[in-house]
Amino acid sequence: MKYLGLPLGAKFKDKTIWNPILEKMERRLAGWKRLYLSKGGIRKIRLFNEALLGKWLWRFGIEEDALWRQVIEIKYGCMWGGWCTRVVSGPYGVGLWKNIHQGWPSFSCHILYDIGDGSRVKFWQDRWCGETSLAVRYPDLFRFCRNKDASVTELLMSTNGVRFWDVRFIRGVHARDLEAMSDFLETIYGSSIRGLGEDKMCWIPSKVKGFLVSDYYRILAGSAILGFPWKSIWKQKIPSRVAFFVWTAALGKCLTIDNLRKRKIWILDWCYMCKRNGESIDHLFLHCPFASDLWSMVLGLFGVSWVMPHSVLGLLRCWQGSFGRHRNGFIWSIIPHCLLWCLWRERNSRCFEDSERSIPDLKLLFFRTLRDWLFALQNKSFPSFIVFLDSCNFCT
């Protein structure tokens, strides 16, 4: 009989008892890696949750007849225009919508209003004729306008079927304001307004499709997540631990000395390879003289002229290019992983074992490791080491 996968009465200190459990966990973790690490990294849970809550802010603004929206509106009231509720306060029973509403200041920066009759959109303070409000684009004019809270419909007049804007100011226009005033008039008269129907809320990143959680998450997470070279890391036929290592290097999380010092581990900041500069991920793997020598050797073999990017992430982003489609591209595609891995092994050998390889020995380690990966994981064999080196170019 078994309980939780273990035989009843078994000695829990016996290692053989735990082997089936460990194998099962390894299989689960392998699947977890494919599902959650393959896109370049684990999502930032707080930001992803904020993006999901943004969906409710979007629905509140567009689903005016929905029962759930009417209940929320009755309970909390609406801000001017009815696009969102008022600020939620109170100690009990408001936690859910209070957390949703806290995302409105950030969410509202990415919406644009499509003007119908203009009764729900503020002329100066809302975005309706561009991706910034008129108050932000023309701060000097906004400062001396007569009605800062006027709606679009209040300032849009019509005489004999001809529409015109009745925007008034508390003083005359000075010479220094003429250029801004000219641009302001060109902007408002150049905007497209239906003049009839309901005002609508539009999602700036995708006006056609509307709000998408994925779009909002990318905005919240910033540009770091855009263009992450996840295929260059997780789709290559290399050992799993190497892929994980390259992923941490691309994210800047390897435990180099600069990262250890950020964790309050005080240690002499120097590079174990060149013994001159401070050790950072980009220096160790790209700009250290030892690393530069290895990169120059590889690029020379393939006959490629290359300007080394500033960061490991930049290297992985631009490494594939058109070279990946060459018949020897299967070798080219895994070179960064192999070279980074060999440098990391040599660095750790110098740090923890007080053992150093010469540059020729380090180059030989790189080629042997590369050939072993190709044979073991891609079933690519070479009659001799010379034939293997001859394959490391784009001329054959």
**From the CA atom positions of the chain, what is the Rg in Å?**
31
User: Coil, helix or strand for 203?
Assistant: strand
Tokens of 190: 């150049």
What does pLDDT average to in each consecutive run of 10 residues of the chain (396 residues)? 59 65 65 46 76 93 91 90 86 76 90 90 91 89 92 89 89 89 91 84 88 89 66 89 94 91 86 89 93 92 85 87 68 92 95 92 93 88 84 71
**Per-residue pLDDT at 11:** 63
**Per-residue pLDDT at 159:** 86
Instruction: Give Cβ neighbours of residue 276 (< 8 Å, ≥ 6 apart).
Output: 270
**Per-residue pLDDT at 185:** 92
Query: Given phi > 0 = left and psi -120 to 50 = alpha, else beta, which region is 291?
Result: alpha
What pairing do the DSSP bridges indicate for beta strands 200-203 and 111-114? antiparallel
101, 84 in Cβ contact below 8 A? yes
CA distance linking residue 316 with residue 285, whole number of Å: 12
Half-sphere exposure of 279 (CA within 13 A, CB side): 24
Q: Is 139 exposed, middle or buried (0-12, 13-18, 19+ CB in 10 A)?
A: exposed
Residue recorded with tokens 């119908």: 116
Q: Is 135 exposed, middle or buried (0-12, 13-18, 19+ CB in 10 A)?
A: middle
CA distance linking residue 5 with residue 15, whole number of Å: 14
CA distance linking residue 161 with residue 195, whole number of Å: 11
Q: At what angle do helices 45-62 and 213-221 cross, to 10 degrees?
A: 130
Hey, which residues does 122 pair with through a beta bridge? 151
Amino acid letter at 247? W
Q: What is the distance of C-alpha 30 from the center of its chain?
A: 24
Q: Where are the beta strands (DSSP E) in 186-327?
A: 200-203
Where do the domains of the chain lie?
116-198, 230-391
**Per-residue pLDDT at 168:** 92
Amino acid letter at 390? D
**Per-residue pLDDT at 18:** 66
First to last CA, the chain: 63
CA distance linking residue 292 with residue 286, whole number of Å: 6
**Per-residue pLDDT at 392:** 80
259, 253 in Cβ contact below 8 A? yes
Q: Whole-structure pTM over 0.85, yes or no?
A: no
260, 267 in Cβ contact below 8 A? yes
